[in-house]
């Protein structure tokens, strides 16, 4: 959708690079716009930008000052006729739905795999044929909803890695659900810790490090959860040399599914903007993963 900067709002997602007077873009495509970035567009006297028809939170984007449909005549390039159900839209919808489930778990409700499967099965199956989206989805992550974007993305990337490693469909679906559910135990961590804008203290971090155990306990008696998923959830922060947590398990006891989820977890964490850490490019992250072989803390 092509709109003027005055019609933008916080959360708009660029679909094309924005250029000023130089050959380098002042804001790159897939960036989620903030009020400061919108002000920058005004400063550089940008006439138009192109954005998604949905905001980063999954809501429909209505440009500020947009006329009603019956009053439009020649505004075809600014019109919203419908919201396309493309992969990016489905991803943002999944984030919204997963957030609701997570809030239910925080309130003490039990995990229902029927609801989880309903949200993710189509996303999982579609990414196999459209892996190009994996290079862009992390751009939609924002600090406030990082956890929900993280769980959804880790599930999707885990599915694709499982597929590329030639696991059966049944297995790569299980790997995907392992990725989605790995961090649900954070629902048992104090919200004050989760929302802290700065680095955690050693005591707070020790509390966070218990979340794989919480996840395991939340899923242990849930219908439809396999032992492989349980192990993956419990071990996704373990490392080959035994330096991980919560149990310090080494390579001899690590389930292969948990190793796949661990790679996806590190990749998204490092490519996303967080309260206490700036995001890195996918290429920097892949280089870091290759060098460290997942032995360090993510």
pLDDT in the model for residue 214: 97
Could you please report the per-residue DSSP string of the chain?
-EE-GGG--TT-BBSS-EE-SSSSEEE-TTPBP-HHHHHHHHHTT---EEB-SB-TTSPBP--TTPPPGGG-SS-GGG--------HHHHHHHHHHHHHHHHHHHHTTPPP-HHHHHHHHHHHHHHHHH-GGGGGTGGGG--STTHHHHHHHHHHHHHHHHHHHTT--HHHHHHHHHHHHHTTGGGGGS-HHHHT-SSPPPHHHHHHHTTHHHHHHHHHTT-TT--HHHHHHHHHTT--TTS--SSS---GGG--HHHHHHHHHHHHHHHHS-BTTB----HHHHHHHHHHHTT-S--
* pLDDT confidence of residue 118: 94
- The pLDDT of residue 21 is 64
pLDDT score at 285: 65
Query: What pLDDT score does 291 carry?
Result: 63
* pLDDT tens track for 103-125: 999 999 999 999 999 999 999 99
Q: Which residues of the chain have pLDDT under 50?
A: 68-84, 294-298
The pLDDT value given to residue 72: 43
Full set of structural domains in the chain with CATH: 2-78 (no CATH), 87-292 (1.10.3210.10)
Residues 16-38: pLDDT tens digits? 999 876 678 889 988 999 988 88
């Amino acid at each position: 959708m092509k709109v003027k900067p005055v019609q933008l709002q916080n959360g708009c997602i660029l679909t094309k690079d924005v250029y000023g007077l130089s050959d380098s873009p002042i804001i790159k495509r897939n960036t989620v716009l903030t009020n400061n970035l919108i002000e920058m567009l005004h400063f550089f006297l940008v006439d138009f930008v192109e954005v998604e028809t949905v905001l980063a939170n999954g809501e429909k984007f209505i440009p500020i000052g947009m006329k009603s449909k019956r009053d439009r005549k020649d505004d075809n390039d600014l019109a919203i006729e419908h919201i396309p159900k493309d992969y990016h839209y489905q991803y943002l919808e999944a984030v919204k739905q997963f957030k609701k489930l997570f809030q239910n778990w925080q309130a003490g409700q039990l995990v229902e795999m029927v609801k989880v499967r309903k949200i993710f099965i189509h996303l999982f199956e579609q990414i196999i044929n459209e892996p190009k989206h994996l290079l862009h989805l992390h751009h939609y992550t924002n600090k406030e909803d990082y956890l929900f974007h993280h769980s959804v993305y880790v599930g999707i990337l885990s599915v694709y890695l499982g597929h590329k490693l030639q696991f059966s469909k049944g297995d790569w679906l299980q790997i995907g659900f392992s990725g989605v559910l790995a961090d649900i135990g954070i629902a048992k961590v104090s919200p004050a810790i989760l929302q802290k804008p700065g680095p955690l203290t050693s005591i707070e971090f020790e509390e966070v490090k218990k979340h794989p155990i919480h996840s395991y306990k939340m899923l242990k008696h849930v219908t439809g959860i396999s032992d492989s998923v349980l192990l993956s959830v419990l071990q996704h922060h373990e490392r080959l040399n035994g330096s991980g947590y919560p149990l310090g398990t080494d390579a001899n006891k690590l389930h292969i599914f948990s190793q796949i989820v661990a790679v996806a977890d590190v990749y998204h964490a490092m490519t996303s903007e967080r309260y206490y850490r700036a995001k890195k490019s996918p290429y920097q992250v892949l280089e870091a993963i290759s060098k460290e072989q997942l032995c360090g803390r993510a």
